[in-house]
């Protein structure tokens, strides 16, 4: 999977980190940066997707979970996109990234990865 994450990073200029994570914040794959950074991003994403779901529940007829969260910060952007059952794709990019290209590239990658990034529910700390 890591080579596909590398392909996303190289096809979208200004991409800094790409991380695939489970809903409970465990890193499943990464490109760019070190493992500690990827683990911190994955853990933060778990909380962020939970917050997005809580906000989404206030919408009328809320039928599903969070699809995408974009945060613009001084110096860059953060993208978090649902990537299957219990899995998410996160990208940290520098200021100047093409937002449209990033969104499309993330959607394309999720389609390419398909079931490989679905994280099954855990029971007693074990995968089913």
* pLDDT tens-digit readout, 5-43: 999 999 999 999 999 999 899 999 999 989 999 999 999
Name residue, tokens 């853990």: 43
Whether 88 is covered by a domain: the verdict is: yes
Contacts of 44 (CB under 8 A, 6+ apart): 25
What's the CATH number where 31 sits? 3.30.450.30
Whether 49 is covered by a domain: the verdict is: yes
**56: containing domain:** 2-116
Please give the pLDDT value at position 60. 79
The whole-model pTM stands at 0.84
| Strand 68-73 relative to strand 27-31, pairing | unpaired
Name residue, tokens 């950074």: 37
The total number of structural domains in the chain stands at 1
Whether 91 is covered by a domain: the verdict is: yes
Whether 95 is covered by a domain: the verdict is: yes
Q: Among 101, 116, 91, 99, which residue's Cα sits nearest to residue 28?
A: 116
Residue-wise pLDDT for 41-80, tens only, equals 999 998 998 888 888 888 877 666 778 999 999 999 999 9
Q: Is the pLDDT of residue 128 over 50?
A: no
């Amino acid at each position: 999977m890591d080579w596909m994450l590398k392909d996303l990073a190289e096809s979208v200029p200004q991409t800094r980190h790409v991380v695939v994570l489970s809903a409970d914040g465990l890193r499943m794959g990464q490109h760019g940066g070190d493992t500690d950074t990827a683990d911190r991003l994955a853990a933060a994403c778990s909380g962020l997707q939970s917050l997005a779901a809580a906000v989404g529940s206030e919408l009328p007829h809320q039928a599903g979970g969070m699809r995408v969260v974009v945060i613009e910060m001084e110096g860059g952007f953060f993208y978090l996109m649902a990537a299957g059952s219990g899995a998410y794709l996160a990208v940290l990019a520098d200021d100047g990234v093409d937002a449209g290209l990033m969104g499309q590239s993330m959607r394309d990658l999720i389609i390419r990865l398909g079931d490989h990034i679905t994280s099954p529910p855990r029971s007693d700390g074990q995968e089913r």
